[in-house]
Amino acid sequence: MNFYAVAAIYKFEMARTYRTLGQSIASPVLSTVLYFVVFGSAIGSRISDIDGINYGAFIVPGLIMLTVLAQSVSNASFGIYFPRFAGTIYEVLSAPMSFIEIVMGYVGAAASKSIIIGLIILATASFFVPLEIRHPVWMITFLVLTSVTFSLLGFIIGIWADGFEKLQLIPLLVITPLAFLGGSFYSINMLPPIWQKISLANPVVYLISGFRWSFFEQSDVRLSVSIGMVLFFLVAGFALTAWIFKTGYRLRN
Amino acid sequence: MVNTETKTAISIKGLEKVYPDGFRALHPTHLDIRSGEIFALLGPNGAGKTTLINAVCGIVNVTAGDIEVYGNNITTQYRKARSCIGLVPQELTTDAFETVWNTVSFSRGLFGKPANAGFIETTLKRLSLWDKKDQQIRMLSGGMKRRVMIAKALSHEPQILFLDEPTAGVDVELRKSMWDQVHELRSMGVTIILTTHYIEEAEEMADRVGVINKGELMLVEDKKTLMKKLGKKELVFDLHQPLTDEHEELTAMKVHSAADGLQLIYTYDTLKENNGVADVLDCLNRLHIRYRDLSTRQTSLEEIFVSLVNKK
């Protein structure tokens, strides 16, 4: 294992975050604070509790997930796309690294950023609503698995994209709608039965449900199903990445 | 550890590259690069020079063929093979917002080497980059960026260095200084493969020359042998008086006049036993054509290159 190489990529990617601290950290935190002010305090105060949970507290896991999904995809896709765009990718491709090491460097850094942002949002939320995390280990597990899985998806998008427009296409047209419709601001049990069934086709439902369970022991789907789905997406993303490096798709052709 | 005692640094057998759009960038190519030599790969734009380099470095997948670097297959033993190689690409592709120190340290890490501030300091000093170490790369001149690329390629102490058009777009002074650095690297035992448009660069530096055109490696030859084998020499007579009349004897010997009749030039083959020089001198004496000086000039590598490429 070429640990020095993994560390080099990881440190390089994290350094980019520190250089653009305002954009990387402050911006998602600010937008989340706005969500809390609008949905938590202004509108939330007029909405009744959901499953016995204060609405302001209920949306915390969903809001964290919303940001973590978007940040994971955006950080990882930009992280690999930019060297491709600038041409500096030659160095990574010619280095004595396996694809797993390359993925560990880029995806690890993107996931780390998302986890940090998720935790900052959690800390910020605690200033607005009373929060209790019933299962902190599961909360961290879901946060890490989701960050890694969606960073892997972002990494794939960054390799697939052949322009900055395409880089934005999937996050804007797919990830954001799925995150909004995945139960960030509501429980899918509140939907009419037909929409409940349709919602189950949305993978984000399982992530938010499992994550919310770790906070309140309340979930839309069973915990085991949530974990199974996250692991399934993780394995699928990893398999697709392995194929990309095996064939050289958009990298070595 | 890689055994660099082997005489062959890189062995290429039947290497072929066909791009997905069907473009054949490399026809089956065989080439051995000797350890410790400077090998110049000459060829016009689009000849396949960069594709060949990229294939050895693992940047493009090959369609067919085998490549070994110090006996290590670049596919099955890619860690050992790639760790021997440093690459300076043609394009100045750098991370504009990184400092010189960080980008060189990053390259060293990528190749699996632990941080070594002393070695990076020496490398930067040798390339006259030490006083720029904390500057962002975007603030540097083109020549300085080129040096940063070289520093990055040398950061992991490679035994083989690829220089893809190393002096493209740099001024004459910097070019000469880079040539000195290349010679210095060779004296340290680094095998150097360079591609270039500048024939004088190959003439100045290379031990052996390969000529590639349209994806085909047309020849590989020791530079001196090549120039001897394919080179012609010109014998130039500077005359006292301009030659106004045409002499049939001189025409028959393929001696032609130049510089408004003030020069006579005889081109001959250096490898021929009877190259005709003595006959030309006799003839000039017989015709009482007086000359104040005579000189010889060897055909340059550029002329050889152009003639080879045109023949194709």
pLDDT tens digits along A168-183: 888 888 888 888 888 8
Q: Which residues contact B30 (CB under 8 A, 6 or more apart)?
A: B12, B13, B14, B15, B217
pLDDT tier at B172, thresholds 50, 70, 90 = confident
Rounded Cα distance, B224 and B45, in Å: 25
Interface of A with B (CB under 8 A): 2, 4-5, 7-9, 11-12, 15, 19, 86-88, 90-97, 247-248, 252-253
What are the tens digits of pLDDT across the range B116-150?
999 999 999 988 899 999 999 999 988 888 889 99
Distance from CA of A170 to the nearest CA of B (A): 26
d(CA A19, CA A25) in angstroms, rounded, equals: 11
- Distance (Å, rounded) from C-alpha B47 to C-alpha A101? 34
Two tokens, residue B127: 């390339």
Residue-wise pLDDT tens digits, A13-69: 998 888 777 777 788 778 878 887 887 777 777 777 777 788 888 888 888 998 899
Q: What are the sequence ranges of the domains in chain A?
A: 3-247
Q: Is B295 exposed, middle or buried (0-12, 13-18, 19+ CB in 10 A)?
A: exposed
Is the predicted pLDDT of residue B1 greater than 50, yes or no? Answer: no
Of residues B35 and A22, which shows the higher confidence score? B35
What's chain A's average pLDDT? 88
Q: Are strands B85-88 and B64-69 parallel, antiparallel or unpaired?
A: unpaired
Q: How far is residue A40 from each of residues A23, A128, A129, A182, B54, measured CA to CA in Å?
A: 24, 8, 8, 18, 56
CA-to-CA dists, residue B146 to A225, B107, B123, angstroms: 54, 15, 14
Contacts of B73 (CB under 8 A, 6+ apart): B66, B67, B81
What is the gyration radius of the CA atoms in chain B, in angstroms?
A: 24
Q: Looking at residue B271, what is its pLDDT?
A: 67
Pairing mode, if any, of strands B263-269 and B232-239?
antiparallel
Q: Quick one: average pLDDT of A114-138?
A: 89
Q: Is B58's CB within 8 Å of A15's CB?
A: no
Please report which helix (H) or strand (E) contains residue B192, including its range: strand B191-196
Q: Which chain A residues have a beta carbon less than 8 Å from that of B96?
A: 86
Which of the residue ranges A43-47, A131-135, A141-145, B54-58 would you say has the lowest mean pLDDT?
A43-47
Cβ-based contacts of A247 with chain B (< 8 Å): 61
Residue with tokens 């014998």: B235
Residue contact B110–A91, C-beta within 8 A = yes
Instruction: Tell me the residues of B at the A interface, defined by beta carbons under 8 Å apart.
Output: 19-20, 54, 57-61, 78-83, 85, 87, 89, 91, 93-98, 102, 105-114, 152
pLDDT for the residue B231: 65
Question: What pLDDT, in 10s, does the model give residues B66-117?
Answer: 999 999 999 999 999 999 999 999 888 888 888 999 999 999 999 999 999 9
Here the tokens at position B284 are: 């000039």
Report all structural domains of chain B as residue ranges with CATH numbers, in order of start: 8-228 (3.40.50.300), 231-299 (3.30.70)
Q: Quick one: pLDDT band at residue B200, thresholds 50, 70, 90? A: confident
The residue in chain A having the minimum alpha-carbon distance to the alpha carbon of residue B162 is A94
B263 vs A51 pLDDT, higher one = B263
C-alpha count within 13 angstroms, C-beta hemisphere, residue B67: 26
User: Given this model, what pLDDT does residue B166 score?
Assistant: 82
A12–B82 CB contact, under 8 Å: no
Question: Could you give the 3-state DSSP secondary structure of residue A109?
Answer: helix
- At residue A74's C-alpha, the angle toward residues A68 and A78, to 5°, is 145
**For residue A8, what pLDDT is reported?**
94
